[in-house]
Amino acid sequence: MNDNLLPIILLSLQVSALATLCGTILGIPLGTVIGLFTFPGRNLTMAFLYTLMGFPTVLIGVIVYLLLSRYGPLGNLELLFTPYAMVIAQTLLTTPVIAGLTMSAVYMKEKSLAETAQSLGATRMQTVAVIIKESKRGIWTGIATAFGRAISEVGAVMLVGGNIQGSTRVMTTAIILETRQGNMTNALVLGLVLLLVTFVSQVFLMIGMIATFQKNKTG
């Protein structure tokens, strides 16, 4: 293997974690609004959101590439082939996943909780807060799924990151490179490391999830 593995693993984690964070910040409010409030065209929006959850990542890559390319609308930011471009692409991937799973989680809880909360004298905002709190499990699932999809994604980060050694090379693009050079053993080893890294990060996410449940119970 001609690369140092540690920076590649770290970059993978950084990019995907940041994209998951952005996806969480954007996705939870979005999912909550669609899940809790009725508005015209809501069913269509739901269907649209579910479609976005399965959006082909390579297509996300092409779109972000065109937006950021030198003569594209955001070309003057000079973000193409930087880790930021990878974060942008993966945020487009994580946001719908988190929004969609948040939406279905709060939608389920809404019916059972809204009336109770309101009968106990809760204001509208307090009701929403209670529902979000009670939907934690579903929201955490969304975050974990989004992170898993982001870190194992390859098409978009290859296109917008460019797989530059020491700069934008992540685990998945390194695997592609090793395979193309005929270094199957290296590719397999890297794949196993990726699997392990994903597993460990999901365990950490789970620990976070369990901690919030317990706080919820005692508090």
Residue from 51, 76, 112, 165 touching another protein (CB under 8 A): that is 165
| SS3 category, 170 | coil
- Residue among 183 and 212 whose Cβ is closer to another protein: 183
Q: Does 4 bind another protein (CB under 8 A)?
A: no
Give, in order, the Cα–Cα distances in Å from 105 to each of 62, 81, 99: 31, 36, 10
Tell which residue, 70, 91, 92, has the closest CA to residue 81: 70
Crossing angle of helices 57-68 and 83-119, in 10° steps, is 120
Q: Would you count residue 149 as binding another protein (CB under 8 A)?
A: no
Residue nearer to another protein on the CB measure, 67 or 156: 67
Q: Which of 70, 61, 88 is nearest to 162 (CA)?
A: 61
For another protein, the binding residue among 58, 62, 189, 197 (CB under 8 A) is 62
Question: What phi, psi does 150 have (nearest 5°)?
Answer: -65, -45
Closest approach of another protein to the CB of residue 32, in Å: 21
Query: Which residue number, 16 or 186, has a Cβ lying nearer to another protein?
Result: 186
Tell me the torsion sign for CA atoms 164, 167, 173, 178: positive
Q: Taking CB under 8 A as the rule, which mask of x and - marks residues 176-215 in contact with another protein? A: -x-xxxx---------------------------------
**Footprint on this chain of another protein (rule: CB under 8 A):** 62-63, 66-67, 69-70, 73, 80-81, 158, 162-167, 169, 173-174, 177, 179-182
